[in-house]
Structure 1
């Protein structure tokens, strides 16, 4: 938090100050986030890639690759999506309603828009660290074919931020105790994790329901991740997947900024 000086704080400086505040908190409580941030996707990789994957023969469904290498990129992106949604629901609502630190921050020269930028920067930093740790440990399991694993980390962060933006806007319009976040996780996040091409190609889904996967940001992230590591995705298709996520990010950030100002400017 910045002491009031009567001067406007630069956007990047204000965002970094917010990240510093979150980092000071995180240093005390990082152990409580260790499972969701790093261990969960690795346990999925071991269970599904090595355990269940040992029973899956390489074939057309896996692009002729071992199942471990097929799901490794998608598990990174899926974990990034879940972590970003988690960081953009209850923590955002708490900033408005419970801890009310958003009110304290915007009582200084930091604007609601700068506060929002700091939130996205913090989420991106969290995703970068957790995705990098996952990528390094997955390397020991032989999950990567090439240096495309570095690009997968970028794809994971990009997909996570794209999902965080509309969820942040959703949280900024929440005034109850966060009950509707339960519906978000139950009917959007979990089905998206299971049926957006993370564990099997969406061609296995009945055509009448396949559109649900097509509109899922996770499917676009999965396609990007596999495209940069495993290949098999046309360059024009990769551009289309990236454009979809960019549009989601831009739209979500626009509404999040609108609702932050509506709620924090008296």
Structure 2
């Protein structure tokens, strides 16, 4: 009597979320070996700015300075540097790793040779970027509150606001970096994009102190929207219409960056 051979088990379909988590785990495991080197850029530098500028210079600037809205300089400066640090962390976590991973022999070509699709690689890495930006922002926010720089319980909402600000820079940066054939242009982006935004988006001083001709340019920069959102939440002066406007701008920029990144990842990563 012939015996029938049992059919091999069918492979269990793997969802897109599971595939993205597999890509995310690579970056999380990698970070366990490199986390010490990220502390200076991600946390130490913003905290040094907070101490030197907010506490040091802040003592020389009176709280009745009209251009600061009648608040002391520490309360004005701290939420601004929170948003600016989120911007910097978003770009650092996207532009450098993506451009390096994109090169021959990098993590992206290797991952593209597995069942991971380009979208899975993007989703996993973007999730890691979001976690990194949020973690650094949470540490800075805790120190900021400990220093007495926050003036409203609404400052808790500055954490998601700062994270969104970071993603509004990270996703467009990833969309651009995945097209690069070398990492050289990334340094130019820091020189010509990050530093001017740091200086002229209301982080260190009120935009009202700039010449009238420059203010409209500042108002369309994403960092200004992030700074204003975090600052008004920290000071307790946020209003729904204005805050929703800032949120809509940042969400639109992050969404556009994501859509372009999906297209560029498909074009540049081949399994």
Same fold (TM over 0.5): yes
Give 1:227 shift.
2.0
Give CA-to-partner distance per residue, 1:126-180, whole Å, 9 cap, x none.
01111111111222211112322221111110000011111111101211x2222
Counterparts of 1:11 and 1:74, CA distance in 2 = 37
Give the unaligned 5+ runs of structure 2.
1-9
Residue by residue, what CA displacement relative to the aligned partner does 1:10-40 show, whole Å, maximum 9, x if unpaired?
2222222222211111111111111111111
Give 1:98 shift.
Answer: 5.0
Question: Which residue is 1:169 aligned to?
Answer: 175
Partner residue in 1 for 2:158 = 152
Indicate yes or no: 2:149 matched with 1:143: yes
How much does 1:7 deviate?
6.4
Cα contact 1:8–1:110 (8 A) shared by 2: no
Superposition deviation, residue 182 in structure 1: 2.2
Check conservation: 1:18, 1:119, Cα contact below 8 A: yes
The Cα of 1:211 is off from its aligned counterpart by 2.5
C-alpha distance in structure 1 between counterparts of 2:215 and 2:70, whole Å: 23
- In the alignment, what sits opposite 1:91? 97
In structure 2, what is the equivalent of residue 67 of structure 1? Answer: 73
1:68-102 C-alpha deviation (Å, 9 max, x unpaired): 11111111111010011011112101111054211
CA separation of 1:106/1:9 partners in 2, compared to 1, >3 Å: closer, same or farther? farther
**1:167-206 residue pairs with structure 2 within 5 A?**
167-175=173-181, 177-206=182-211
Provide the rounded CA distance (Å) in 1 between the counterparts of 2:12 and 2:179. 29
Q: Whole-Å Cα distance in 1 between the matches of residues 82 and 97 of structure 2?
A: 22
Deviates more, 1:194-203 or 1:228-237: 228-237
CA displacement 1:222-263 (0-9 Å, x = unmatched): 111112221334421211111111111111111111010001
Correspondence for 1:16 among 15, 21, 32: 21
Return 238-247 or 223-232, whichever deviates more. Answer: 223-232
Distance 1:98 1:34 in 2: 28
Q: Where does residue 225 of structure 2 map in the other structure?
A: 220
Question: What SS is found at the alignment partner of 1:118?
Answer: helix
Q: 2:256 aligns with which of 229, 251, 264?
A: 251
Matched, 1:54 2:47: no
The answer to whether the 8 Å contact 2:154/2:236 transfers is no
Deviation of residue 6 (structure 1)? 7.1
1:103 equivalenced with 2:109 (yes/no) = yes
CA 1:222 to 1:170, structure 2 compared with 1: closer, same or farther past 3 Å?
Answer: same
- TM-score normalised by the chain length of structure 2: 0.91
Alignment RMSD (CA, Å):
1.7
Preserved CA contact (<8 Å) 1:202 1:210: yes
TM-score normalised by L of structure 1: 0.93
